[in-house]
Amino acid sequence: MENGILRRNYLFSDPYLHQLCNEKIVIAGRDFHKLFFQNAAPVSLTALSARNIAFKDLPSEYELTCKLEEASETKSYLAAQLRTGIRNILHRLSFQPDAVPASVQKLEKPCLEQLTDIDLLSYGKSLVQTLSPSLSDIRDTGLTPAMMSTLLQICYEFDLAIDKLRKTVCDCDLINAQRIKIGNQIYEELLSLCNKGKQTWAGINEAKYNDYVILGSPHNSQESVKPSQQ
């Protein structure tokens, strides 16, 4: 981890790490008595297998990206709906400007496109709360309680969408961090297991030694295959 950023310790993809782990577990199971006879196992094959299954079952980065895009699109759609509703009300108020309550006139008319989500939500709610008690005085604008209720409902849904996007971002960050941590743990245990296998077969059986070489690993990038002495 550098500057608080969690990084993968392996250079290949998560699916390849999962597949590689399964392959090495099978190989280690084949050689179990030879590898671990009178020696403690460097890792538990059962625990490693369970961890590898949990690793595979985590949502993929593509699934998380899809969830983020969906939440973001929903929020953007509701923001557009809210801006349209606000503009419609402000337009109708222009038909009877002299009758607009002073409390409404005090509301600054911002550039809606430049407002943050929170400020847009706040303005929409303020407009409804300020206008609703005065609708009978500005009936010539065509504004109705139903219009106020519709705009308030959009505000409510937009508020939920903001929270959902915030939560989705947080959840995705946590899952991504969990995936990297589990992946790194699997990789480190895989290295330990394969080092034990290479130590066991070095100078004895070239083919079985090679079974424990992790191709594409930075730890093995310069490694040459140990020749058999048989």
Residue reference for tokens 């604008």 = 141
Q: Assess whether pLDDT exceeds 90 at residue 107.
A: no
For residue 143, give every residue at least 6 positions away whose Cβ sits within 8 Å of its Cβ, in sequence order, or none: 89, 92, 93, 131, 135
Start-to-end C-alpha separation, the chain = 44
Q: How far is it, in rounded angstroms, from Cα 143 to Cα 132?
A: 9
Residue reference for tokens 């706040």 = 122
- What is the per-residue pLDDT across 44-76, written as a single tens digit (0 to 9) for each? 899 999 999 999 999 988 999 999 999 999 999
Q: Assess whether pLDDT exceeds 80 at residue 227.
A: no
| pTM for the predicted model, two decimal places | 0.77
